[in-house]
């Protein structure tokens, strides 16, 4: 394909994706929709609800829409088990879309115009290319790192898609369940007048244990990688 035509095509898809995400986010903010209202809309689709939800989750997070809103929605509509599964499917779809968008439309620009000639970035990028699975697993396990930011940032590095995919999948499974479980239990507690149920107590304990386990995994991975650059470093 002609280079100029390819550039125009990239620009078109970039504008389309970003404008779609911005439009949906604007509608969400201006209409004042709550997760409960969105949940009722999803239920109206009946048996097609899961398909609509997963597709919307993937497309919206791929365009930069906050994943936490959709994960909350999934847990409220489908419960902790199916909510975990559908949230994970949607998140993996969104992560893949954002990664592809960044890889094919942004990587060349950042390498040439932003990071070109910067020694530390070259070393970092080399480390990511060699140990990308551990990098992405680490940042997915630690809930402090923004989901959408990781998706787009990974695409402009030398991280291979296979390592990105499996690192993302393994890193998000525990987080997806703990979060969906907490939201679902909180929803059931709210339906009972915000009583402290045994399920909610267990969910809160799991949240604390997950944070502790995440930090332990972070330290373990850092010890294993030794000389590799650390994503959490300043």
Give 152's Cβ-side CA count (13 Å radius): 14
The whole-number pLDDT of residue 234 equals: 36
Sign of CA dihedral 13, 92, 171, 189: positive
Q: pLDDT-based confidence at 221, cuts 50/70/90?
A: low
| Most confidently predicted of 128-132, 172-176, 205-209 | 172-176
Is the pLDDT at 233 greater than 50? The verdict is no
The whole-number pLDDT of residue 149 equals: 92
The whole-number pLDDT of residue 86 equals: 96
The whole-number pLDDT of residue 44 equals: 83
What's the rounded mean pLDDT across residues 180-190?
A: 87
Is the pLDDT at 232 greater than 80? The verdict is no
What's the rounded mean pLDDT across residues 133-137?
A: 90
CB 87 within 8 A of CB 74: yes
Residues 6 or more apart whose Cβ sits within 8 Å of residue 84: 75, 176, 177, 180, 181
Of 6-10, 49-53, 216-220, the range with the lowest mean pLDDT is 6-10
Taking the C-alpha atoms of residue 121 and residue 38, their distance in angstroms, rounded to an integer, is 42
Taking the C-alpha atoms of residue 118 and residue 106, their distance in angstroms, rounded to an integer, is 17
- Exposure b/e, 168-190, CB count within 10 A at least 16 = b: bbebbebbbbbbbbbbbbbbbbe
- Tell me, rounded to whole angstroms, the distance of Cα 133 from its chain centroid: 16
- Exposure b/e, 20-45, CB count within 10 A at least 16 = b: bbeebbeebeeeeeebeebbeebeee
How do residues 64-92 score in pLDDT, each as one tens digit?
Answer: 888 988 999 899 899 999 999 999 999 99
* pTM metric for this prediction: 0.77
How do residues 86-118 score in pLDDT, each as one tens digit?
Answer: 999 999 999 999 999 999 888 888 888 788 778
Q: List the chain domain ranges.
A: 3-225
Taking the C-alpha atoms of residue 81 and residue 177, their distance in angstroms, rounded to an integer, is 7
Q: pLDDT-based confidence at 129, cuts 50/70/90?
A: confident
Residues 6 or more apart whose Cβ sits within 8 Å of residue 194: none
Is the pLDDT at 230 greater than 80? The verdict is no
What's the rounded mean pLDDT across residues 136-144?
A: 83
**195 φ, ψ to 5°?**
-80, 145
């Amino acid at each position: 394909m002609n280079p100029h035509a390819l550039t125009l095509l990239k620009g078109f898809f970039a504008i389309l994706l970003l404008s779609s995400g911005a439009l949906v986010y604007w509608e969400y903010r201006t209409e004042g929709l709550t997760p409960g209202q969105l949940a009722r809309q999803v239920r109206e689709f009946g048996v097609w609800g899961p398909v609509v939800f997963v597709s919307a989750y993937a497309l919206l997070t791929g365009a930069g829409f906050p994943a936490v809103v959709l994960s909350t929605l999934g847990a409220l509509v489908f419960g902790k088990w199916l909510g975990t599964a559908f949230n994970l499917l949607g998140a993996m779809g969104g992560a893949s879309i954002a990664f592809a968008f960044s890889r094919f439309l942004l990587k060349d620009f950042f390498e040439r115009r932003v990071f070109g000639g910067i020694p530390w970035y070259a070393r970092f990028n080399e480390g990511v290319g060699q140990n990308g699975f551990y990098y992405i697993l680490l940042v997915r396990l630690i809930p402090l790192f923004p989901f959408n930011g990781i998706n787009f940032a990974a695409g402009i590095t030398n991280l291979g898609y296979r390592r990105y995919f499996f690192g993302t999948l393994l890193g998000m499974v525990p987080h997806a369940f703990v979060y969906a479980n907490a939201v679902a239990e909180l929803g059931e507690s709210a339906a009972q007048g915000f009583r402290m149920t045994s399920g909610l107590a267990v969910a809160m304990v799991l949240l604390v244990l997950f944070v502790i386990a995440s930090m332990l995994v972070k330290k373990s991975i850092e010890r294993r990688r030794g000389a590799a650059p650390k994503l959490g470093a300043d």
